[in-house]
Amino acid sequence: MKAAVHTRYGPPEVVRIVDVPMPAVGERDLLVKVQVTTVNRTDCGFRAAHPFFIRVFTGLLRPRRTILGTEFAGTVEAVGGRVTSFAVGDRVFGFHEWRFGAHAEYLSIAEEGPVAPMPANLTDEEAAPSTEGAHYALSNIRKAGIHGGQAALVYGATGAIGSAAVQLLKALGASVTAVCDTSNVDLVLGLGADRVVDYTNEDFMADEQRYDLVLDAVGKSSFGRCKRLLKPRGTYISSDLGPLSQNPILGLVTPLFGGRSVKMPIPPRVGQEELRYLRGLMESGAFKPVIDRRYPLDEIVDAYRYVETGRKIGNVLIMVAGSASHRERR
């Protein structure tokens, strides 16, 4: 089968399209024919071994997992002898976090793993990008304990995490102020944001409103600068470590004082409960992943380059099967 393979860490160009053996399918595994996958920031981090310490998990000198790709949507092509809950021909989607393998024509995944039946009313393109950004958004929202009636500010509301966070917060009944640039104000209002701050015209840190949660979904702020936006027991969460890698320490220290605090969620493993939750939101129309560009698998290096500009809007798709012969802009 065809796959995007990297055998050393480095820039997008370390990835090559090559023929590799089909993945092994165990007694309790599904073989999924991948229709659509994504290139996301997790793939970028693991391909480049950035931050450096992730080599402890991914292989010190060379990557242990040579085929990346976490998110997928496709069709069950074969099942192991002891699989009971999926059948050949089922349409499925999922998030093969840590194990990867979706940047290929076929993926093997455990029946009990992070895979679920496709939302009834969704296409592969719509379902494939529904898990990575939403997973991080959801773990942040759950860590902050946000519920209906509370107020949240999402900085970086046009990223994969940010655009999912706006919708997931609205689904919980929170009021949402979203920060984005001028060209995406309408997009973000369309995601359900109650208010938008255009960061090219206004400094969101000068906002007069106070929030239960400030979620920095692009990792470009700091607790020190955002503190004044928080209610007395409000929570600051960032998708990144912070300019001085201070967020993990602040996450340990600030909750001890009982006031405004930093939380540093360690996202739990994605399970089928989470996929079912997201599927329900997608089926009801409450969550629709934002799609930016589409690339055929053969052009995955270009997809990586684009994702690493830090300017993608939502998600970048890789069309594996019946792939689009040219890249398309949203």
Ligand X SMILES: NC(=O)c1ccc[n+]([C@@H]2O[C@H](COP(=O)([O-])OP(=O)(O)OC[C@H]3O[C@@H](n4cnc5c(N)ncnc54)[C@H](OP(=O)(O)O)[C@@H]3O)[C@@H](O)[C@H]2O)c1
Closest CA to 169 of 140, 208, 197, 190: 140
Residue 310 binding ligand X, by CB under 6 A: yes
Instruction: Using CB under 6 A, pick the residue from 41, 47, 103, 260 that binds ligand X.
Output: 41
Q: Is 98 in the site for ligand X (CB under 6 A)?
A: no
Residue closer to ligand X by CB (options 181, 298) is 181
If one asks whether residue 138 binds ligand X (CB under 6 A), the answer comes out as no
What is the pairing mode between strands 195-198 and 175-180? parallel
Q: Token digits for 261?
A: 């605090």
- From CA 165, how far away is CA 163, in angstroms rounded? 5
With left for phi above 0 and alpha for psi between -120 and 50, is residue 259 left, alpha or beta?
Answer: beta
* Interface with ligand X, residue 38, by CB under 6 A: no
Alpha-carbon distance of 319 to 65, in angstroms, equals 21
* Chain residue whose CB lies nearest ligand X: 159
Report the residue from 23, 63, 94, 133 that binds ligand X according to the rule CB under 6 A. 133
Residue 45 within binding range of ligand X, rule CB under 6 A: yes
**H runs (alpha helix) in 240-326:** 247-253, 272-284, 300-307
Q: Does 317 participate in binding ligand X (rule CB under 6 A)?
A: no
The H or E element containing residue 212 is: strand 211-216
Q: Considering the rule CB under 6 A, would residue 220 count as an interface residue with ligand X? A: yes
Interface residue with ligand X, options 82, 233, 311, 330 (CB under 6 A): 311
Region 141-170 residues binding ligand X, contact defined as CB under 6 A = 155-156, 158-162
CB of 225 to ligand X, least distance (A): 12
Q: How many Å apart are CA 16 and CA 114, to the nearest integer?
A: 27
- In the bound state with ligand X, the residue whose beta carbon lies nearer, of 141 and 161, is 161
Q: Closer CB to ligand X, residue 17 or residue 241?
A: 241
Binding test (CB under 6 A) with ligand X, winner from 86, 136, 223, 236? 136
Q: Does the footprint of ligand X cover residue 219 (CB under 6 A)?
A: yes
Cβ-based burial of 97 (10 A; exposed 0-12, middle 13-18, buried ≥19) = middle
Give the integer Cα–Cα distance in Å for 308 and 98: 20
Interface residues with ligand X (CB under 6 A) are 40-42, 45, 133, 136, 155-156, 158-162, 179-181, 199, 217-220, 239-240, 310-313
